[in-house]
Amino acid sequence: RTYRVPKEVRVEPQKFAEELIHRL
């Protein structure tokens, strides 16, 4: 059986808009 090795990408965090932070 052949296993596919997926490509990996590092994704950096982007700061959330301030007014959206407390919407939970």
Partner 1 sequence: VANSVLFPCTYAFSGCHITLPYNEKVDHEKVCKFRPYPCPCPGTLCKWLGSLEAVVRHLTNEHDHVITLKGEYIIFLATNINLIGGFDWVMMQFCYGFHFMLVLQKQENRNGDQQFFAIVQLIGTRQEAEGFVYRLELRRHRRRLTWEATPLSIHENIATAIKNRDCLNFDTGTVQLFEENGDLSIIVSINMC
- Looking at the Cβ atoms of 1 and 10, the one nearer to partner 1 is 10
In single-letter form, the type of residue at position 12 comes to E
Integer CA distances (angstroms), 21 to 1, 11, 14, 15, in order: 46, 20, 12, 10
Q: What radius of gyration do the chain's Cα atoms show?
A: 17
In the complex, the smallest distance separating the C-beta of residue 1 from partner 1, rounded to whole angstroms, is 15
In the complex, the smallest distance separating the C-beta of residue 3 from partner 1, rounded to whole angstroms, is 11
Site for partner 1 in 1-24 (CB under 8 A): 4, 6-17, 20-24
Summarize as ranges the residues that interact with partner 1 (CB under 8 A). Answer: 4, 6-17, 20-24
